[in-house]
Structure 1
Amino acid sequence: MSGDTPPVGERWRALRAATGPVDPSELEALWADLQVVDASSILGPWRGFALLTGHPIEKVLASGRWHGKRFDALDDAKPLICRAEDGSLYSDTKAGKGEASLWNVEFRGEVTATMVYDGMAVLDHFKRVDDHTLMGVMNGKPGLVLAEGRPFYFGLERE
Structure 2
Amino acid sequence: MDAIEARARFQELRERNDLVDPAELDDIWAALATVRPEDMLGEWRGGEFDTGHPLNGMLVKAGWYGKTFTTVHDVKPLICRDASGQLYSDQELGQGEASLWTVEFRGETTATMIYDGRPVLDHFKWVDDTTLMGVMNGKGIPAEGPFYYFFLERVAAPGARHGGAGSEEGV
Q: Same fold (TM over 0.5)?
A: yes
- State the 4+ residue runs in structure 1 displaced beyond 4 angstroms: none
Match of 1:72 in 2: 70
Match of 2:127 in 1: 129
Question: What residue identity is the alignment partner of 1:152?
Answer: Y
Distance 1:132 1:154 in 2: 14
Give structure 1 stretches of 5+ with no counterpart.
none
Match of 2:153 in 1: 157
Q: Deviations over 1:30-89 (max 9, x none)?
A: 000000010000000000001111112122201101100000000000110001100000
Aligned pairs (5 A) from 1:105-124: 105-124=103-122
**Displacement of 1:110:** 0.4
Distance 1:6 1:67 in 2: 28
Residue-pair matches, total: 154
Q: Percent identity?
A: 55
Distance 1:99 1:149 in 2: 24
Please, what is the CA RMSD of the aligned residues?
1.7
Match of 1:12 in 2: 10
Question: What residue identity is the alignment partner of 2:76?
Answer: K
**Displacement of 1:18:** 1.0
Give structure 2 stretches of 5+ with no counterpart.
156-171
Aligned pairs (5 A) from 1:4-43: 7-43=5-41
- Residue 112 of structure 1 aligns to a residue whose secondary structure is strand
> Are residues 1:50 and 2:39 paired?
no
CA contact (8 A) 2:7 2:28 kept: no
- Residue 55 of structure 2 aligns to a residue whose secondary structure is helix
Match of 1:103 in 2: 101
Match of 2:167 in 1: none
Question: What residue identity is the alignment partner of 1:139?
Answer: N
Gap change, CA 1:6 and 1:134, over 3 Å in 2: closer
- Residue 10 of structure 1 aligns to a residue whose secondary structure is helix
- Residue 146 of structure 2 aligns to a residue whose secondary structure is coil
Tell me the TM-score normalised to structure 1 length. Answer: 0.92
**Displacement of 1:6:** 6.8
